[in-house]
Amino acid sequence: MTIEFVKYHGLGNDFILIDNRASSEPIVTPEQAVKLCDRHFGIGADGVIFALPGTNGTDYTMRIFNSDGSEPEMCGNGIRCFAKFLADLEGSTNPTSRLRIHTLAGIIVPQLTADGQVKVDMGEPRLLAEEIPTTLVTAREKVINQSLNVAGQTWSVTCVSMGNPHCITFVDDVAAIPLEEIGPQFEHHPVFPQRTNTEFIQATSRDYLKMRVWERGAGATLACGTGACASLVAGVLAGKCDRVATVELPGGCLQIEWSHDQKLYMTGAAERVFAGRI
């Protein structure tokens, strides 16, 4: 079977996008996705994203297979790439069109902006331990500035779900973190029964955060949109930052706002790289 694809990236977090509108299930298996994401023997990507038919009144459904074959609930950079992909598929001439996208994390609403970026209504953060999920505290408690022992060191962590789990810790120098060594130990820590994404954050001011991320199922990536949103929430809860801030990632910057309607709004770029068939 020949499959056409388009490669996109959001701040260097790169994805293979597949038009899957003719079927309600992904036309690529998780095992095949692993091979496609291989950067030496495949196309190379952090994940494969499928555009499926919408359900329950939504315009489309988005599903993702990570580079290790696992399926995350959502992906912030992926949803921006998804929105650009759909605009290209539809031949949209409306620079500010909005779409309702069904994901495993709920309905997400991306909107193309007049300057070519994508603004995404990411919904409300989930803060209770049972929602993340984690066993760091009791089920109905919030995880704010809790101690967690990883790699022989005690870290102060705050946990947030954006439909997927995030563990955020604030550090003095984010560049000094041995990400490849410590990241997997956070991801697979027994207090996170579904594993976790981990963000290491340096708050340089009340409205500017520097971030490095270890993504569940993908490892070290250049950007993570849900992680940027979760990190802003953690920063507000921990008293480290304001409700609107720039989050600097290795691949570039995102503008994040935790609005007074309690929703997170993420604005950033998404770029088409190339198209092909396999």
**pLDDT value, residue 93:** 60
Where are the alpha helices (H) located in the chain, listed in sequence order? 30-37, 76-90, 179-187, 225-237
**pLDDT value, residue 95:** 61
Reference 225, options 55, 73, 11; nearest CA is 11
pLDDT digits (tens, 9 = 90+) for 188-242: 999 999 999 999 999 999 999 999 999 999 999 999 999 999 999 999 999 999 9
What is the residue type of 277? R
Q: Which residues are marked as active site? A: 75, 224
Cα-Cα-Cα-Cα torsion 234, 240, 245, 251, nearest 10 degrees, comes to -70
pLDDT digits (tens, 9 = 90+) for 92-151: 766 667 899 999 999 999 999 989 899 999 999 999 999 999 999 999 999 999 999 999
pLDDT digits (tens, 9 = 90+) for 53-64: 999 999 999 999
Spatial neighbors of 165 by CB under 8 A, at least 6 apart, are: 132, 133, 134, 159, 192, 194, 195, 196, 197, 216
pLDDT digits (tens, 9 = 90+) for 155-188: 999 999 999 999 999 999 999 999 999 999 999 9
Q: Give Rg (Cα) of the chain.
A: 18
Region 255-264: what's the mean pLDDT? 96
The model's pTM = 0.91
Map residue 34 onto helix, strand or coil.
helix
